[in-house]
Structure 1
Amino acid sequence: MNVLDYYRALEQASERMLQAAESDDWDRVVELEGACAVLIERLREVGTTAQLSPTERAEKHRIMLAILKHDARIRALAEPWLDLWDATPPGSRSTLLH
C-alpha cells in the first residue's frame, strides 16, 4: 500500500463513520473511529518518507478536505448528545447509555 492508498482508506472509513452517525449508530461510529486510528498510525509511519507528485499532493488535499467535512458533520450530529451528557449529573449518566 502506498501513502495515497492509506489516505483513500481513511476517507472511506470517515465516510462510513458519517453514514453511521446519520443512522444514529454510535456504536458503529466508535468502531470505525478505532479503524481510523489504526490507519492514521500507519500513515505516520509511511508518510514521513513518501514523496508525492503535484497530482498526488492535490489528491491528498482533496481527501483531507473530505475527511474534515465528514468530521465536522459527525461532530454536529453528536453535539446534541454531548450536550445532554454534560447536562446529566454524573451519577445518572448510565441511563443514557442504554
Structure 2
Amino acid sequence: MNSELLNYYEAIEQASADMLTAARTGNWDEVVKLEGACVLLISQLKAAANHSQLAAGESQLKTRIMQRILLNDAEIRHLAEPWLEDLDTVLKGKSRLVH
C-alpha cells in the first residue's frame, strides 16, 4: 500500500529530518540546500496529486507523516532564531553605514 503520493510525503519527511539534523549541527548551508529539495518535492507532490489520490488506509499515515514534518519544522525554526537575530543585528548595523 505504498502509493506514489505517499512516497512523496515520505521523501519530504526524510528531507525535513535531514534539515533538522543539519540545523542541530549549525550547518545552515545544508539546511538551505535541503529546503530547496523540499520545495521541489512539494511541487512534484502537487502535480502528482492532480491525477492520483491516497488509498483509503493511507490518509492516517499521511497525517502522522505531516505531524512529524511539522514537529521537525518547529524545532528547526527554534534552532534558527538565534542565528536570525544575529543576522538581523548585522544587517541593521550595515544599514546605518549605508545611510
| Range of TM-score over shorter length | 0.7 to 0.9
1:38-88 CA distance string (max 9 Å, x none): 100001101133222332000110110010000000000000111121222
Which sections of structure 1, spanning at least 5 residues, go unmatched? 93-98
* CA RMSD across the alignment: 1.6
TM-score (norm 1): 0.86
Count how many residue pairs are aligned between Structure 1 and Structure 2. 92
Residue of 81, 91, 94 corresponding to 2:94 = 91
The answer for the alignment partner of 1:63 in structure 2 is: 65
Which has the greater radius of gyration?
A: 2
The answer for the alignment partner of 2:23 in structure 1 is: 21
TM-score (norm 2): 0.85
Residue of 39, 42, 52 corresponding to 1:40 = 42
Opposite residue 64 of structure 1, the aligned amino acid is M
How much has 1:90 moved relative to structure 2? Answer: 5.1
How much has 1:26 moved relative to structure 2? Answer: 0.5
Which sections of structure 2, spanning at least 5 residues, go unmatched? none
Runs of 4+, deviation exceeding 6 Å: none
